[in-house]
A = this chain, B = another copy of it.
Amino acid sequence: MTIGVVATLKVAEGKNAEFEAVFTALAAQVRANEPGCQAYAVTKSRSDPNTYKILELYADQDALTHHGQTEYFKAAGPKIGPCLGGRPEIEYLDGV
């Protein structure tokens, strides 16, 4: 069953460029290496320029679990953390 993820991330003031660089590089690696990831889009709120949403779709739970275990995902964490201005909200959704 498809699993959707909406990750809402608030960046700290002045950290947009750094955050975007880390995340677009991560997205490229996800797309290149994860056939079970059907979509992985880094998007920005129109109402709050410091809020980003990562829209993700996975073929199934295995694909999502694999995503979280990749070396590049684990390596991105310490780069993303210092860019954030609040706690991430990660919402998991079940495909219908």
Contacts and interface: CB of A to CB of B under 8 A. Distances in A.
Number of copies of this chain that the complex holds: 2
Contact of A44 (B52, B55, B94): B94
Main secondary structure of the interface of A (DSSP, over half): strand
A33 interface: no
Contacts of A23: 96
A93 B2 contact: no
Interface string A47-60: 00000110101000
A29 interface: no
A96 B4 contact: no
A6 B53 CA distance: 10
Contacts of A38: 39, 41
A39 B57 contact: yes
